Amino acid sequence: MGKIAFSIGTIHFSWFGLILATAILAACAISWYQVRLRRENVDTLLDLTLYSIPIGIFSARLYYVVVNWQLYAGNPREILQLWHGGLAIHGALIGIALTIWLYSLINRISFWRWADIVVPGLAFAQAIGQWGNFINQDAFGYPTDAAWGIYIDYIYRPSGYEQFDFFHPTFLYESGWGLAIFILLITVSRLTIRKPSTLASGSLFLLYLILYSLGRLVIEEFRLDSEMLGEWRLAQLVSAIILIWSGTLLAWRNKKRRKNGEVV
């Protein structure tokens, strides 16, 4: 499969871009459904969508470029060519979370409540977006003889691995894990809507961070292209920090809720 889905005249539409657009639309649809279920203001969701999408993409690209600067130092124009891939989920999470936090601060609404609203859609979008790596033949793992191994064209094989044909489809592992997280979040979301006293606001968001970080810690062990910080894989280091922070905060907020009531 080529990287270009179709062309209209001189305008080319890449599979990567179409997959990314599909992921964003799916996230918006799921978030809209969550807003309706929770009887929140749709206009607030529209505002958050308009701000979060460009900031999330920008921060995802910025994060990737910064940690892979050696790839772009000699050709800065490549930074703008998003259809070649190179978006970091940790960067996107930082950008989206900051956007919701600043918007909530300015408009005096609950950050935690709105983070809970958007995070199921974010998990589902992540599951879809991982397939962009399949098209671009990147973010794959070590060679494998497993039946589910993915064939990688010779030109995309890292130096020292040219003799291998099949590699771990780590994009598929992340996609499946993202889908599982989405299903769990939707289930917990419906429970909290029916019984609002079950969990403190923000629990869905923090649960997502915990589960995604756990999955990333494991999946990153299979990847060949991990960014390194000394002897540490950067994604695992960031995931470990997020895991500890979100796990501690989830326990604290729910303990405080049981003791004092609603925590906003």
How does 48-62 read in b/e, with b if 16+ C-beta sit within 10 Å? bbebbbebbbebbbb
Q: Residue 228's pLDDT is what?
A: 85
* Percent share of the chain, pLDDT over 70: 98
User: Strands 11-14 and 4-8: what pairing?
Assistant: antiparallel
Q: Whole-number mean pLDDT of the chain?
A: 93
User: Which pTM was predicted?
Assistant: 0.92
| Alpha helix stretches (DSSP H) within 78-166 | 89-107, 111-129, 131-136
Rounded distance, CA 108 to CA 114, Å? Answer: 12
Low-confidence ranges of the chain (pLDDT < 50): none
Q: Residue 251's pLDDT is what?
A: 95
Q: Residue 6's pLDDT is what?
A: 85
The set of residues, in sequence order, having a beta carbon less than 8 Å from that of 103 and lying 6+ positions away, is 47, 48, 51, 109
Residue ranges per domain, the chain?
A: 16-260
- DSSP bridge partners of 233: 228
Rounded distance, CA 193 to CA 34, Å? Answer: 10
- DSSP bridge partners of 141: 223
Q: Residue 262's pLDDT is what?
A: 63
pLDDT tens-digit map of 96-133:
999 999 999 999 999 999 999 999 999 999 999 999 99
